[in-house]
Amino acid sequence: MNFAFSPCPNDTFAFHAIVHGLVDSPAVTAHLDDIEALNIRAATPAAEVTKVSINAYGHGLADRLVLLRAGGAAGFGVGPIVVARSKRHVGGRVAIPGERTTAALLLRQLGRFDTVVMRFDQIEDAVLRGDVDCGVLIHEGRFTFERKGLTLLVDLGSVWEERMRSPLPLAAIAVRRDLAHLAPRVDAALKASVDYAFAHPDASRGYVAAHAREMDPDVTKRHIALYVNEYTRALDERAVRTMLEWGRREGVFPPADPARPLFV
C-alpha cells in the first residue's frame, strides 16, 4: 500500500508506527512530500492512500477518493496565519502555500487578492525580502514567524472558528475509491498508529527529526502538541461538511453528489 503524507512533525509523529510495522496494518510504502505536491498527486492513480487538503478534495477529488476518519488534521487554534514585515492591511501580493491548500481557501474569508504560489517553507523569507507584501503561513510558520521579525496580521483559523462555530478541518487521509474495500483496515491501522504515538511519544523522535524542516526541538514539540489531537484519531465529519458546503456557496467547489459517501 502506497501511503503519502507530509514530512511535518505531526504526520511523522502520528504515522511512525504504521510506517515501521509497529501496529497491525497492510504493508506500507511511505511517500513524503509537501502538502501541495500531495494535493496534485492525489489526482493521479499513484495516490492509493494519501493525505489531502480539504480544499483540494472539494475541487473535484471526491469522485476518485473517499475520506477516512483517522489521520486527519483539524482542531481549534490550528489555522493558517497571515503575516507581513509590519502592521498593515492584508493586500498587495500575498504568498500562499499552494492553490489547493486549505490555507488558500481560508484566505477567501478576507476577500480576493493577488496571490503568489510558493512552497510553504519559502514564504517567510519571501516576505522578509519584500518579494511579496504578505504571506500565509502553515505548519511550523505559526511558531517561527515572530523570531524572524514578522508581524501577525490575521489568524485565518480564528476567523473560521468565529464565523462557523466549528473546528477547522485542514486535511484528511483519503483512499482511492477502487480500494475502498481496504479502507476499514487502513482506518483502524491509522487509529492504532496515533494511539501508539501517544503511548510511546519518544519512539518516533529520530524519524520526526530526520524529516523536520525546523530543527528546534521546542518548535517540534509545540507543533506535535497542537496538530496531533483528538481529531487526528477521529476527524469531525460535520466540520468537513461545513467547509465543503461553504466552498460550494463561494462558487469554488462543484455541487455534491448525494449518492456518493464522503467518509467510509
Domain boundaries, the chain: 2-75+168-249, 81-164
What average pLDDT does the segment 248-258 reach? Answer: 92
Average pLDDT over residues 179-183: 95
Q: Which three cell numbers stand for residue 226?
A: 497542537
- Report the pLDDT value the prediction gives residue 207, as an integer from 0 to 100: 98
Could you give the CA distance from residue 112 to residue 94 in angstroms, rounded to a whole number?
10
pLDDT of residue 259: 82
Average pLDDT over residues 210-233: 94
The pairing of strands 168-176 and 49-53 is antiparallel
Sheet holding 81-84, edge to edge: 114-117, 93-96, 134-137, 81-84, 151-155
Torsion of CA 43, 44, 49, 53, to 10 degrees: -20
**pLDDT, averaged across the chain:** 96
- CATH class of the domain defined by 81-164: alpha beta
- Average confidence (pLDDT) over 17-34: 97
What is the set of active-site residues?
139
CATH architecture of 2-75+168-249: 3-Layer(aba) Sandwich (3.40)
**pLDDT band of 160, cuts 50, 70, 90:** very high
Amino acid 31: pLDDT: 98
pLDDT at 12 over 90: yes
Total-model pTM? 0.96
- Residue 169 clears pLDDT 90, i.e. is over it: yes
Side-chain half-sphere of 22: how many Cα atoms within 13 Å? Answer: 20
% residues pLDDT > 70 (the chain): 100
Residue 249 has pLDDT above 90, yes or no: yes
CA 62 to chain centre: 17
Expressed in percent and rounded to 5, the helix, strand and coil fractions of the chain are 45, 20, 40
pLDDT tens-digit map of 82-111: 999 999 999 999 999 999 999 999 999 999
Q: Give me the count of residues in the chain.
A: 264
pLDDT for the residue 80: 98
Cell numbers given for 22: 509497529
At 138, the pLDDT band (50, 70, 90 cuts) reads very high
Measure the CA dihedral 200/47/81/127, to 10°: 110
| Range list of β-strands (E), the chain | 2-5, 29-32, 49-53, 65-67, 73-75, 81-84, 93-96, 114-117, 134-137, 151-155, 168-176
Instruction: Return the pLDDT at 258.
Output: 84
User: What pLDDT is recorded for position 166?
Assistant: 95
pLDDT of residue 4: 99
Would you say 39 and 85 are in contact if contact means Cβ atoms under 8 Å apart? no
pLDDT of res. 28: 95
Confidence band for 214, pLDDT divided at 50, 70 and 90: confident
- Do 2-75+168-249 and 81-164 share a fold? yes
Residue 62 has what pLDDT? Answer: 93
pLDDT exceeds cutoff 90 at 264: no
Whole-angstrom distance, CA of residue 7 vs CA of residue 17 = 15
Q: How far apart are CA 136 and CA 120, in angstroms?
A: 8
